A and B are shown apart, each in its own frame.
Chain A
Amino acid sequence: GQQVMQIPQYQHVQEGEDFTTYCNSSTTLSNIQWYKQRPGGHPVFLIQLVKSGEVKKQKRLTFQFGEAKKNSSLHITATQTTDVGTYFCAGSTGNQFYFGTGTSLTVIP
């Protein structure tokens, strides 16, 4: 079954509001990656986290890897219309690599 789940599935925010998506695994992950897919586009790699409790920032995006390496989050501060798209996490466990179910973000101008 599905190894990596994301919540929420959909999120509508007003431009300028913050947004967070959560990624949860049933097993410990060796690393977590995040991707963004614009509507009609293909997934684009954003970042990889490897260490327990790791936090990385890319401008308005903050990525966290949980202490137990079973969960992760992506937080966007002050969303803009350019943030529209689906955000996927993806993690390695054993010799498998799973993509999460994705969170679709809509930003209302």
Chain B
Amino acid sequence: NAGVTQTPKFRILKIGQSMTLQCTQDMNHNYMYWYRQDPGMGLKLIYYSVGAGITDKGEVPNGYNVSRSTTEDFPLRLELAAPSQTSVYFCASSGYRDSPYGYTFGSGTRLTVV
């Protein structure tokens, strides 16, 4: 099993550019999440999904959009990138919110906006 796969691993964007961070999981998990982690800080929830076709905002959704057309894929879209979006982005999945197996995280995308 690959688990949760994120692409790209690194990206440099110019202010105002857009991009999509890809996330795919092969564990048939219903729940998927996007977090951002600023240097030396904890994890902040951007968006989450409880199943295909269902998404909802987390703590810090502004400047981002998501879609969930399949169980496997949960892409995160950045429109009009800003320096404040420089961060490490983690995608995660779980069978359900309080799964005793916890969340499985991808290896992250390190994004710099200049």
| Residues of A near any B CB (own CB < 8 A) | 30-31, 33, 35, 41-46, 48, 50, 88, 90, 92, 97, 99-102, 104
Q: Mostly helix, strand, loop or mixed at chain B's interface?
A: loop
Besides A45-B102, A88-B42, A97-B98, 7 more A-B contacts (Cβ < 8 Å) are A35-B102, A43-B43, A44-B105, A48-B100, A50-B100, A97-B45, A100-B42
Chain B, interface residues (CB within 8 Å), range: 10 to 19
How many Å lie between the Cα of A30 and that of B108 in the bound state?
Answer: 28
CB of B75 within 8 Å of the partner chain = no
Q: Which residues of B contact A30 (CB under 8 A)?
A: 98
Q: Which residues of B contact A50 (CB under 8 A)?
A: 100
CB of B55 within 8 Å of the partner chain = no
Q: Which residues of A contact B42 (CB under 8 A)?
A: 88, 99-102
Q: Which residues of A contact B104 (CB under 8 A)?
A: 45
| Residues of B near any A CB (own CB < 8 A) | 35, 40-43, 45, 90, 92, 97-98, 100-108
How many Å lie between the Cα of A46 and that of B104 in the bound state?
Answer: 11
Q: Is A92 a contact partner of B102 (Cβ separation < 8 A)?
A: no
Q: Which residues of A contact B90 (CB under 8 A)?
A: 42-43
Nearest A residue (CB) for B102: A45
Q: Which residues of A contact B97 (CB under 8 A)?
A: 92, 97
How many Å lie between the Cα of A33 and that of B41 in the bound state?
Answer: 18
How many Å lie between the Cα of A42 and that of B110 in the bound state?
Answer: 11
Chain B min CB distance to A71 (Å) = 17
